Each structure stands twice: as C-alpha cells, then as structure tokens.
Amino acid sequence: MNRIEKAFHSLKENNRKAFVPYLMAGDGGLDQLMDQLIFLENCGATAIEIGIPFSDPVADGPAIQEAGIRALQSGTTLKEVLSAIQTIRPIVSTPLILMTYMNPIYAYGIGSFIHDAVKAGIDGCIIPDLPIEEEELITPHLQDANIELIRLVTLTSPLERIEEIAKKGRGFLYAVTVTGITGARTEFNDSVSKYLKDIKSVSPIPVLAGFGISTPEQVIELGSYCDGVVVGSKIVQYFHEKKLNEIEHLIQASKTADVS
C-alpha cells in the first residue's frame, strides 16, 4: 500500500470520513508551500491535493484560475514545485497528490516527470483531461513508481462506465458533484445524493465528492453519502485571504459527518 491506501485504511478502522483539501502551489509565492502543507496536516487532512498552475485549466473555476494566474506570474513551474516538495517531504507525512494536466507533463517529459515525482515523494496524480481510453500513455509509468492515478467520474457518466473506472483504481474515486467547473455552490442538484450512493454501490475503492463544496454544512451533508470530500476553491480563497481558522472549520466538519 502507498500512503493514500494506508490513510483510507486508517479512516475505515476508525470509522471516520476523509477530507482532502486542494491548494494552488505558488499562489502567494512558492515559499509559502511548506507552511501551507504543515498547516493542513496539523488540521487533520487525509491527503492534500497540490495544484500545478497552468495557462489553460479546463476544469477550474474562477477562484482556482485566479490563483493559477498569480502563481504563474510569480514564476512557479512544475519542476520548481516538485523540487520544493522534495525539500518539504521529510517534514510532512500526509499523502500528497498532484493535480495537473497532460500538457505540462508532456512538456516536462513523462519519464522525467515520474522520476522527479518519485524523488519528491508524490503519492498520487489527478489529471482531469486524461480519459481512461488514453491513460495507458502514463499509467504503466505511474504504477511502476507506486504513484496512484486518481480518476474522476461525473454526474453524466453512465453507471457501467463508473464501475469500469472504479475497478482501475487503488486509492479513491473522485466523484464530481456538479456539471461544470470547480467553484463554490450554494446548493446541489437533488440527484447528487442518489448519484453518490449509486457510485458507492459499484466502487471497490473509497468514493470522495468534490467540486463546489464550500461550507461545513455541505462537508457534512455530502460526506454522509460517501467516504468523504475534496474541497478546493474555498481552501484556495481562504489561503489567499489568510483565513486559516475557516480552513480548520471546514476540515473539522468532516469529523462530524454521518458514518452509518
């Protein structure tokens, strides 16, 4: 088992829900990354998703796009992020998951990317623009390096396809809860609860809800239908606004989600 599997095994043993926060590497300067990761670990994050700034982030909403622009303007690159994580890794034991797109990986070189990700202690990758039909471009390399590819499913995915995707993973399945890009939502479609329950019924791995979750109440509600949540835009916003207490409140809410 890699760190992601161990983390979810521990949650199951302790009857707890997962909380995976997302942050944009380099937003506010790459020198902030260490403090951000240590803070999230101390707050009890199950794993931490680290976004790589990219000029054409097709899955990202305004808050994360703006954070990516700030990071790019400060000169943040994928290579620099991996180098920074390698320095931080001896201090932070929480599973670390890179969220990036295929273009930066291609530009880096798949072999070089995998090599440096291993050196940095990366546990997983989320690549939103990589469909399962094309993932053989990189999955053999990730598997050899014991880096888990975290796959996404959506509200429009047929259940048969969801089941096919779920069987490929070992970490967790990322269930997108909105039809569209990331960003805070005031409410969710009535079908989301059934959608999450249906995914749970066919997935052999934990299911986490993500996209649009922005309040402690939503963390509790959506977490009750699956194994936990991923929160991105709101974490990015709170880091930018230096509202660390609000981040802690979101993470603590996951500990009160219904586990029945």
Phi first, then psi: give them for residue 98, nearest 5 degrees: -85, 135
d(CA 147, CA 117): 9
Residue 69, C-beta contacts closer than 8 angstroms, at least 6 positions apart: 53
| Rounded distance between C-alpha atoms, residue 222 and residue 193, angstroms | 7
Nearest CA to 145 among 193, 112, 179?
112
Pick the catalytic residue from 13, 35, 56, 60. 60
Q: Which of 39, 31, 99 lies closest to 242 in space, CA to CA?
A: 39
Query: Cα separation of 56 and 219, whole Å?
Result: 28
Active site includes 60?
Answer: yes
H helix runs in the chain, sequence order:
3-13, 33-43, 62-73, 78-88, 102-108, 110-120, 139-144, 159-166, 192-202, 216-223, 233-240, 244-253
Write out the two tokens for 11.
Answer: 């949650």
Quote the CA–CA distance of 94 and 215 in Å, as a whole number.
23
> Among the options 49, 116, 123, 221, which is catalytic?
49
Is position 49 annotated as part of the catalytic site?
A: yes
d(Cα 259, Cα 95) in Å, to the nearest integer? 22
Q: Report the catalytic residues.
A: 49, 60
